[in-house]
Amino acid sequence: MKEILKDILSINGVKGVLLMSKDGKLLYESIKANTSTGHQRYTNWKKLIDILGKNREADFVFDKGRVYMRETGNGYMLISMEGYASIAMVKLNCDIVLPQLNTAKSGKGLKGLFKR
C-alpha cells in the first residue's frame, strides 16, 4: 500500500494519508517521519464521512493546514497537508492512484489466485 501512495506522500507539504472504510474504520495510515498531523486525536471518522454525504470529495481548510477527503469507491482517503501544499497536485495524484487502490482492495491479483 505504501508503494501505491508514495507519489502522494512525496508532494511538498503533504503530511500523511489515511484510508477508511465506508463505516469510518481506519484501514491504513501512512505519516511522514517527523510530522505531527493531529489526526491521531480525532477518532470519529464516521461523523466526518456523514458530513461528506453524497459528495465525492471535500477540502477542509484550517489555520494550520488542510485536509482533502476523497471517496475511493471502497471507502475514503484523507490527505493531511500544510496550507502551502498544491491541492492541484494532490487531486491529480489521487486520480492516478484510485484505480490502483481499488484493484488492491478488491482482492484481485496474486491474492485472488490462492482462494479455495
As a CATH number, domain 2-105 is 3.30.450.30
pLDDT recorded at residue 36: 56
Residue 18 makes CB contacts below 8 A (sequence gap 6+) with: 26, 28, 29, 30, 39, 77, 78, 79, 80
Give pLDDT, residue 104. Answer: 66
Residue 10's pLDDT is 93
Instruction: Give the cell for residue 72.
Output: 475511493
Q: State the pLDDT at residue 51.
A: 80
> β-pairing, 65-71 with 75-81?
antiparallel
Q: In the prediction, which pLDDT does 111 show?
A: 41
Mean pLDDT in order along the chain per 10 residues (116 residues): 88 93 87 59 72 86 90 90 94 92 58 38
What is the torsional sign of CA 96, 99, 101, 103?
Answer: negative
Alpha carbons 112 and 37: distance in angstroms, whole number: 35
The confidence score (pLDDT) of residue 44 equals: 74
Q: Classify burial at 45, counting beta carbons within 10 Å of its beta carbon; exposed 0-12, middle 13-18, buried 19 or more.
A: buried
On whether the CB atoms of residues 92 and 29 are closer than 8 A, the answer is no
Domain ranges of the chain: 2-105
